[in-house]
Amino acid sequence: MRRLRVVTFNTLFGGHSDFGFGPAEHWAAQAEFLRSLEPDVLALQECNFWEQLGRRRLHRAVSAVGMAQGFLAEANVTTSGHRFHSAILLSSRLGVDAEDSDRSRYHHVMGWANLVVPGLRTLLEVRNLHLDPFDPRNRAREVAPLQVLAAPGRLGLVVGDINSIGLGYPEPDWTQLPAHLRNGQLRSPGQDEVSDREAVELLARAGFADASARFGQEAVATAAFGKGDVPRRQDLILVTPALAPALVEYEVAMEPVDLGWSDHAAVRADFDLSLLDQVA
């Protein structure tokens, strides 16, 4: 296996109206679009109600997107009653050594899978995040256990909706955001009123590389295109030092936003595994 394609996408309530409870107004279009991207690893967020009826929406999504298998990470109940599940869907080219989820440390949940990739002597470790949208300090706590993935020789991906602006993104005008939402984005009171990026700063200091940086796309927004929001880049694909040499392409696909399917774009990164020392 030479090429590996990774995609992350926040579905906005799984493509269903009424916070995921209503009809699938956008899911069919989302699924067709995601299928066209031909991902090997597809990380999805806001998979609301995908646990219902024997995880029926999960299994139907696997078929609709043309994947081979999928794993649902069931989220905590929020203060408004939502459960923003996430999912990792895999192509038939990949095997699974282990998979599970962790919601004890997370506002929503972290789903994870350790993958067997043909041609690699080392497992590929994938972590699918949907971090706390309200508390920057909690986001820093949420990513703290992930820093060890950047140890020498480990092939790892931290992807998903980080709910924090990525490094290199220009400072937004937060006065455009309603006051009741600003605390989720700004540093603590008493500090300069600028974006809190501690979660991504911690991962960067541990050695993770942001896939956008190699291609000069740090300033391309991926999310928060809804009315009254402030566009920003918060859907990230972060790679460990051992995997970074294989990164060959990066793209922000705006179709979901432009066509009204979601308030998030899809983000894609391609890897040429033949560039790695771990190739058998």
pLDDT tens profile 216-256:
999 999 999 988 899 999 999 999 999 999 999 999 999 99
Q: Is 196 exposed, middle or buried (0-12, 13-18, 19+ CB in 10 A)?
A: buried
The answer to whether residue 280 scores a pLDDT higher than 80 is no
Share of the chain above pLDDT 90, in %: 91
- Distance, C-alpha 44 to centroid of its chain: 7
pLDDT tens profile 125-161:
999 999 999 999 999 999 999 999 999 999 999 999 9
Looking at every residue in the chain, the average pLDDT score rounds to 96
Count of CB atoms situated within 10 Å of the CB of 141: 17
Q: Quote the pLDDT of residue 176.
A: 92
By three-state DSSP, how is residue 87 classified? Answer: strand
Mean pLDDT calculated for residue range 256-264: 97
- Distance, C-alpha 170 to centroid of its chain: 20
C-alpha distance from residue 193 to each of 178, 179, 190, 197 (Å) = 14, 12, 8, 12
Which phi and psi (to 5°) does residue 9 adopt? -155, 130
The answer to whether residue 54 scores a pLDDT higher than 90 is yes
C-alpha distance from residue 93 to each of 1, 38, 40, 81, 88 (Å) = 8, 12, 7, 37, 14
The answer to whether residue 277 scores a pLDDT higher than 90 is no
Q: Quote the pLDDT of residue 18.
A: 87
Q: Is 0.95 topped by the overall pTM?
A: yes
Question: Is the backbone of residue 19 left (phi > 0), alpha (psi -120 to 50) or beta?
Answer: left
Q: What is the largest CA-CA distance in the chain?
A: 54
Residues 87 and 112: their CA atoms lie apart, in Å, by 9
Mean pLDDT calculated for residue range 100-115: 97
Of 241, 242, 249, nearest to 271 by C-alpha is 249
H-type alpha helices, the chain: 27-37, 52-65, 136-143, 179-182, 198-206, 255-258
